[in-house]
Structure 1
Amino acid sequence: MVDRRDIGTWIEGTPTPGEPVRWPGERLGRPENGSGSMARFGRRLIALIIDWGLAFLIAKFAFDSNQWAILGIFAAEQILLVGTLGYSIGHRILGLRVIRLDGRWPGPLWAFVRTVLLCLVIPAGIWDADQRGLHDKAAGTALVRI
């Protein structure tokens, strides 16, 4: 049988021996607060609501609120904007940016991987001690404050 502790260890990665994690992103070399620090849950959620709301409004007027059109518009926004600029409209409003762990911008391929997993919802709902969802872990990205 699978134990929750086994899954938690897998999701959180390898902890530094003897050192507890003091803030999200510490293991990644990110500061505790300010520019470059990991985006917290509240900001991420509000950015997602803004992006989903914009996709809903566009689909409402262009496609008569078709649920697949909403998802398609949301995905297109994420792939195009995150892949080229490093942030979506919701991210920009809340002062967030998607970066690769080496500091580069994600690019179209990793934005696509991240978006596909984000659209599956479950990976985005599971995150580690650094507050990176499974979609960010798979794409090697992190959502940080600008």
Structure 2
Amino acid sequence: MAGARTLDDVRRVIGSWLDGPKSAFNHAREQAAEARPDWRGEKLGLPKDGPGSAAPPGKRLLAFVVDILLAALITAAFTAPEFPGDWSLLTWFLITVIPVSFFGFTPGMAMMRIWVARIDGAGMVGPLRAVLRCGLTLLVIPAVMWNFDGRSWHDRASKTIVIRR
């Protein structure tokens, strides 16, 4: 029958966890043998380097740290001498979501000369995508798990990528 799956097809998809560690290791080895792009963003049609290329992880991390410190300083200015606590999280959320929604970058990203762009080429990231990216960043794991294209889980979920200016 055309389109019918064999036991081997099913096992290839779900067998890695059913068959135990040896099968899981073989499945991981098969995935590692897949053709990898020569540079981050190649599959998306981005240039290898320069403006419009995928932003390097170091610049992204530094931009994030700048945004966190800026949020802490802004919050401390309003809550001093008390410890800002959770208020700095709210401040970080605001200085992340609002500028990314409309301009595509946070203050830290502007300093690092990187910005968030939609994969579909639309001009604005928009509030829904910005809130999704920010919310997933709070969970940490989606922001630090990357694929070969230089996109983290929160970028893939929001259909965005961080690129150089």
- What's the TM-score once normalised by structure 2's chain length? 0.77
**Structure 1 residue 61: deviation in Å?**
2.1
Residue 119 in structure 1 maps to residue 135 in structure 2: no
Deviation per residue, 1:107-135 (Å, 9 max, x gap): 11111111110121111111111111111
Find 2:59's aligned residue among 34, 43, 47.
43
User: Counterpart of 1:57?
Assistant: 73
Q: Using the alignment, how far apart are the partners of 1:28 and 1:37 within structure 2?
A: 10
Find 2:149's aligned residue among 130, 134, 137.
130
- What's the TM-score once normalised by structure 1's chain length? 0.86
The structure, 1 or 2, with the larger RCO (C-alpha pairs under 8 Å, 6+ apart) is 1
Q: 1:132 to 1:20 in 2, by over 3 A?
A: closer
Q: 1:29 to 1:76 in 2, by over 3 A?
A: same
Q: Using the alignment, how far apart are the partners of 2:102 and 2:83 within structure 1?
A: 27
**Structure 1 residue 56: deviation in Å?**
0.9
Deviation per residue, 1:38-60 (Å, 9 max, x gap): 00111001100100000011122
The number of residues matched between the two structures is: 139
Find 2:107's aligned residue among 89, 108, 112.
89
RMSD over aligned Cα atoms: 2.3
Q: Using the alignment, how far apart are the partners of 1:66 and 1:125 within structure 2?
A: 26
**Structure 1 residue 19: deviation in Å?**
4.2
User: Counterpart of 1:24?
Assistant: 40
Gaps of at least 5 residues in structure 2 are: 1-16, 19-23
Please tell me the residue identity of whatever aligns with 1:58. Answer: I
Gaps of at least 5 residues in structure 1 are: 10-14
Asked if structure 2 preserves the Cα contact closer than 8 Å seen for 1:136 and 1:142, the reply is yes
Deviation per residue, 1:57-87 (Å, 9 max, x gap): 1122213333311111111111101001110
Deviation per residue, 1:13-40 (Å, 9 max, x gap): xx9xx74310010011111000100001
Please tell me the residue identity of whatever aligns with 1:71. Answer: L
Asked if structure 1 preserves the Cα contact closer than 8 Å seen for 2:117 and 2:163, the reply is yes
Q: Using the alignment, how far apart are the partners of 1:53 and 1:85 within structure 2?
A: 21
Q: Using the alignment, how far apart are the partners of 1:100 and 1:34 within structure 2?
A: 18
Identical-residue share of aligned pairs (%) = 34
Find 2:159's aligned residue among 135, 140, 143.
140
